[in-house]
Structure 1
Amino acid sequence: MASVIFGDKIVSARRHGKLSFSFKSDDFSKIEEYLDTGGTQMMIPISGAAPDDMLTSRWLAKMGLEMLAFRWQNTDGWNDYIVGHEGLDEVRRYARAPRPEEKWDYSKRRIYGQDNSTLTSDGQSVQTIWECDILATGTAESSEFYFVLAIFGVEYSINLGGNSMDGYHRWLEINDGKSPLYSNKN
């Protein structure tokens, strides 16, 4: 059994897998009371080690490929290009089935506080939970694409063309460490 927190109410829960829980029936009244008073947060205490670097880099590679597909979906022939482009063969292979002990490099750094907020167009302050983009570096003849993701202020990036972050680090040097998420890079 694990504890799950609804406001100031602590309830018992049984974890089924990583993201599924069941609650004891006598705890439902506590949950309903919290929700009836306008409560909107459920906190799940976590413990344990962070995922290893190989799992993190594969996750970034998969998300980067999905972001390319999303970005190019309105371009004629986008699917054939992404599926058939030899420059993406290695990242596709790594995301699907890495070789034993293979781990791609990625960058991880904090670019703002986890409680960062921004203003919406109607003036409301909202917390920045995540944001992402593709950074293209180099020239038309020789370019690299980096997937850049920030979650609660921690920026991750990975090269979608190969296992090297050199081009990304050069880009950061040229741009005084400014995140690609906040520049007119493309």
Structure 2
Amino acid sequence: MHQKNKLKLLIKKGSADLNSLMPKINKCLFSPYELIAIVPASTIVGKIQMLSAAEKAFKAFCSDNAISKNLCLEFLLYLYATPKIDEALKLASKKDKRYFLVFGSPCRDLKEMLKCLHELGFREKSWKLRPNLKKLLAIYKSASKLANNATAKKLELAIVEEQAMLRLKHAKAHFEGSSMHASENSASK
């Protein structure tokens, strides 16, 4: 069963025409437990941010403790460390020259997924990520405590911390909600 498997994940750098690619991207997804996200490089601090978001989103999704009902959207929420779907979608839809392709599956060959994405128009390109700390601090308001002595590494760790807090807050709310329903059901008997 998918839920017991670990998500195999790849991150590629490249470019894409999102207007033509995004409407077709579901052709490469064979299961609700597969992840495909194309995110603007200007919104990313580093690889750890993306790996952490994918891991947390997959665990939440498989445990029925997800914020959204879609793994790709769940990934964006964790990636940008926000519980607000509209905020995550706004950041993910920023126009950029460089994009990260984050994709994974618990059971399917990732080469097959990558081939499908290439056929749809994603072009792999090599480039070095150079985070613009000023712009990133504006995006990740929760990390504003770093403002005076921010480095990319410190900001990335602050974002990963916010991702963990988002997971804990949602898990707590989910648990409290299910506990409340259980006590209501036992009280009505």
Asked whether the two chains share a fold, i.e. TM above 0.5, the reply is no
TM-score (norm 1): 0.23
Judging by fraction of residues, say which structure has more strand. Answer: 1
If the length of structure 2 is used for normalisation, what is the TM-score?
Answer: 0.23
Between the two structures, name the one with larger relative contact order (CA 8 Å, sep ≥ 6): 2
Q: Which has the higher helix share?
A: 2
For the pair shown, the structure with the greater C-alpha radius of gyration is: 1
